[in-house]
A and B are shown apart, each in its own frame.
Chain A
Amino acid sequence: MSTVKRKLTIAKAISESISLEMEADENVFVMGEDIAKLGGVFGTTTGLLDKFGPERVRDTPISETAFIGAAVGAAAVGMRPIVELMFVDFFGVCMDAIYNLAAKNCYFSGGNQPIPMVLMTSVGGGYGDAGQHSQCLYGTFAHLPGMKVVIPSNAYDAKGLMHTAVVDNNPVIFMLHKNLQGMGWLGTEKKSIVDVPKEIYGVPFGKAAIVRKGKDITLVGLGVTVHMALDAANKLEKEGVDAEVIDLRSLVPLDRETIFNSVSKTGRLLVIDDDYISYGVTGEIISSVAEQDSSVFKTSPQRIAYPDIPIPFTRPMEQFALPNKDKIFNTAKEMMEGK
């Protein structure tokens, strides 16, 4: 790999990655609402129309059932569609094509008809966009078998995970957090903008990253909550607490081993998620450690996630409900004190 690196936002890393994949394989094409002329509401397909033309970079009507269903069909005969649907909240209208078709056809066909497609979307709130434009729904997609689920926390991972997603022979739900992408109309977490090599490279699915080494407590996050955990870890360090921070990077497959090994070392597990708390990611992580060996816990594992409420519009309520570094810091301190 060459040493040419630049700092990119996640959105730029994604559009670059898709461009490279389209050059490498003519079966790769992109479709979705406002992805061609506009370059995507979140800028993840910027420049692709000019480079590859309207046949391979297609603006769709607002007909999700049709074009996501169509992606399943195109994938079944060997194309590798990348489909964008701007907000994960919109998947309700076309859920059948996702969880009954894309996710199940490989199995139903006895493995004879894989569905290599990428479904790219944006998640997360915190900017007052209310209950149909702020959800994460990580747990929903990870719960339904047959789809891989990926959530990068920085531009390097985003580009590499996109390569892995495009060459994977299965449907991949690629979730990009709005606080991390780097659009002009919303603030961006600085730590998500990192050095990205120019060439194609892969970041494997199912390999969590230990983004901060520590010995006292394990903080597990995904997407934006990784950054909250890192901020909390810096604060904890000043209090003499050495936190290890794990970035899951993919939920399906899930790297249970890295999490277990970390908790075996620290004895304390705090999981942070901005998706709804019940029946979700946090419970899965905690139980995956507990069922392997609950004797590793020095104190009860804890979780911070979104309460089981639709996402409120107004700032006081929304900020109250979201995870943040102070909530993580406080809970971690209590865990250290054995409360």
Chain B
Amino acid sequence: MLSDVNTLQWLYGSMFKSRYYEECMEKAYLEGKQPVFNMANGPVPGEMHLSNGQEPCAVGVCAHLNADDAVFATHRPHHIAIAKGVNLKAMTAEIFGKKSGLSGGRGGHMHLFDPTVNFACSGIIAEGMGPAAGVALARKLRNEPGIAVAFIGEGAANQGAFHETMNLAAVWKLPFVCIIEDNAWGISVSKTDATSVPRNDVRAASYGIPGEYIEGNDPLAIYDAAERAIKRARSGQGPSLIEIETYRLAGHFMGDTEAYRPEGEKDELFSKDPIPKFRKHLLESGTLDETGLKKIEEAMYKEVDDAFEFARSAAEPEPIEALEKVFA
């Protein structure tokens, strides 16, 4: 069991930062969209998929990664981007569509690219699988350090790209890890209604690789499982598959009424919120006292507030810039 205080602090701080980031994003997103909700309005238009509740998946895995290691995330990318160390100011400016954003405002919340830390995400389900395997292949061919991790949702594990890439990565023994964030829902369709097996870790057997299922949305258990898989990848033994039980505490996207959820499900999930739970664990285990925790939290508030301040005050791009960057 993990005992390194710095790592424990980082796990908590990163989860806390991520949650506070989403809370600020939710407020910013709703500006201009009330009383009548219209996705086109406000400082952040378009779809918005928040990651509240899924923070343990991001931190438990990214704690083991360096800038050399590539991460491919999904349409729900903020927690993973934050844990991977994506430039928070430039990321926020991108989501606000500003010139100083990661892509000058061309990508937006579903298309965040920070090559300096090898992070990318996209909006088509399971689309990150192939590119992640490709980075892993390049690392292997060039004998470079670095592995690749693809994060997908449990709904994406029914896509062709998932199965094809798992087989490819396995047959080529690529330094690759697939992380499935199982929040039990793909928009309104439950995992039970969409997936032929209760847990996707069993599918690892069909690729001849290790598979694990991690219950409880617990950052420490995730940390341990990710360590095993990432060690295996780094030592040339090939890919692994990890599915993590996690909770989507927000709607699929903002504006989702979540009428498809069974009565009481949300309340139960909120009662298991991983962040207060982990905070309690740190206190009770004597890892950090209240003062120590507050200090971390204050630092995170500041970092996030600064990023939003930066994004809000940043300049808009010129309209004509739309025509640039189509080709390299």
Chain A residues in the interface with B (C-beta under 8 A)? 33-34, 37-38, 41, 59-66, 89-90, 92-93, 126-133, 184-187, 307-310, 312-321
Contact = CB atoms under 8 A, between A and B. Distances in A.
A62 B158 contact: yes
B158 A61 contact: yes
Closest 5 CB pairs of A and B: A128-B45, A313-B108, A314-B97, A314-B105, A320-B319
B111 A316 contact: no
Contacts of B186: 33, 61-62
5 contacts: A92-B124, A127-B39, A133-B123, A308-B326, A312-B106
Contact of A59 (B105, B123, B193): B193
B299 interface: no
A132 B121 CA distance: 12
Given A127-B39, A186-B39, A317 B45 contact: no
Nearest to B111: A130
A317 B122 contact: no
B156 interface: yes
A129 B105 CA distance: 12
B66 interface: no
A319 B41 CA distance: 13
A25 B160 CA distance: 33
B195 interface: yes
Contacts of A33: 186-187, 189
Contacts, number: 145
Interface in B220-251: none
A41 B187 contact: yes
User: B interface, how many residues as a size bin?
Assistant: 35 or more
B40 A187 contact: yes
B319 A129 contact: no
Given A62-B156, A62-B159, A187-B38, A321 B322 contact: yes
Interface string B308-328: 000000001111111100100
A320 B188 contact: no
B319 A59 contact: no
Given A90-B124, A128-B45, A130-B123, A37 B159 contact: no
A65 B160 contact: yes
Contacts of A66: 160
A309 B322 contact: yes
A38 B159 contact: no
A98 B39 CA distance: 30
B260 to A, nearest CB: 5
